[in-house]
Amino acid sequence: MEIIRFLDDNGKPLKDPPFEAEELIEGYKALRRARFFDEKALILQRQGKLGVFPPIRGQEAAQVGATLALRPTDWAVPSYRESGVALTHGLPLTHLILYWRAHPAGWRFPDEVRLLPFYIPIATQIPQAVGLAHAAQYHGEDWVVAVFIGDGGTSEGDFHEGLNFASVFNAPVLFVVQNNGWAISVPTSRQMKVPHVALRAQGYGIPGVVVDGNDLIAVWHTAREAAHRARNGEGPTLIEAMTYRIAPHTTSDDPKRYRDEKEAEAWLRKEPVKRMQNALKHLGLWDEERERALLEELEAEFQAALEEADRTPEPEPWEIVEHVYAERTPDLDRAWKALGGPA
C-alpha cells in the first residue's frame, strides 16, 4: 500500500503542504508542546512525583496530527498513551499532571473538553467510541469521533467488532492505529500476517489508508480528509500511522531486553519533532530564535501547571470509591465506611 508522506526523513517538503503558513506554525507548536510535556513527565516520574507513565516520544505526530483535524465539538477517545491527544484537544495541563498522579481531581475532565478518560485495558475503547459516533447519527448531531489504539490492540476482538458495527451503520469514526512495530515485547510480525493493519479495512468495506506517522503534515491531512468524509455521512476510515516509540513502553519497562537499540537509533534520525522543525525552516517559517521563545513559553506554562497541581490538597482515602457509581453499591458502601468516608 502507498504510504502517504509530505516530508522526507529529514523534514524537506516533498510537495506543497495543504495548510496555510500560520496553521503549520500552530501545528508545530502543538507537536513541540506534546514532546515538552513528555520530557517533563519522565523527570517527574523519576523524582517520585508522578506514577507509572507511558511515554510517547516518537509518536507525537500520529497523536497531534490526528487531533488537529478535529473540531472542539468532536470527541477523542484515547488509550492510556494519548497524552498528546489530550493536550491538543484541550485538556488543561494541570489536569493531565493530576491524572498521572492518580489524584481524583484529575479523573474527571472538564465538561467542555470532549475527551473520554484514558482506557487502560487494550481495545475496550473501540466499541464505546463507535457507540458514541452512532449516537451522533441517532440524535442528529454533527460530531465525529477519533479513537486511538496501538497495533497490538488490533488483535483484540473489540477492534473487529467495532469496525464491523461502524461499517454496517456508517458511523462517523476515525480509527487511528499507531503502528510502532512493537506491542510491549512482541513484534508486529508475531501479531498479524498482513503487512499493514490498514488492509483489514477491506474486510469491513471501509477505506483503509497508511500514513507516515512521523510526518505531522501527512497525518493531519489524512485525518482531516477522513473527518470530512465522516461529516458527509460517508462513514468510518481506518488510518494506520507508521511510527516508532523510541521511549520504553512505560517507565517500568526495559526495551533493551527485547529490541535492538540500533533499531531505535535509526528511527531517532526521523523523529517527528525535529522533522517538522526542519520542514518549517525549509519553508522559511522558523528559526532558532523562535524555537527558544517557544521553549521559554512552554517552560512557564508547565511550571505554572505544576505549581497548581502541587497546591491541590491530598485526597482522602475514601475518595477512591467516590466516583465509581452515582450511588454506592453495598460493597462500595462498606469500603467507604472502612476508609473513613463521611456519613
258 among known catalytic residues: yes
Residue 221 a catalytic site member: no
Question: 21-312: which CATH topology?
Answer: Rossmann fold (3.40.50)
Question: Over its length of 343 residues, how does the chain's per-residue pLDDT go in tens digits?
Answer: 899 999 999 999 999 999 999 999 999 999 999 999 999 999 999 999 999 999 999 999 999 999 999 999 999 999 999 999 999 999 999 999 999 999 989 988 999 999 999 999 999 999 999 999 999 999 999 999 999 999 999 999 999 999 999 999 999 999 999 999 998 889 999 999 999 999 999 999 999 999 999 999 999 999 999 999 999 999 999 999 999 999 999 998 999 999 988 999 999 999 999 999 999 999 999 999 999 999 999 999 999 999 999 999 999 999 888 888 989 999 999 999 999 999 8
Q: Which of 57, 200, 221, 245 is catalytic?
A: 245
pLDDT of residue 108: 85
Q: Residue 15 is placed in which grid cell?
A: 510537495
| Unique residue bearing C-alpha cell 503502528 | 179
Domain extent listing, the chain: 21-312, 317-342
Contact 206, 163 (CB under 8 A): yes
Sign of the alpha-carbon torsion through 313, 319, 323, 324: positive
From 57, 101, 200, 249, the catalytic residue: 249
Catalytic status, residue 245 = yes
Distance between CA atoms of 61 and 85, rounded to whole angstroms?
A: 10
Distance CA 282, CA 275 (A): 11
* Catalytic position from the list 108, 258, 292, 334: 258
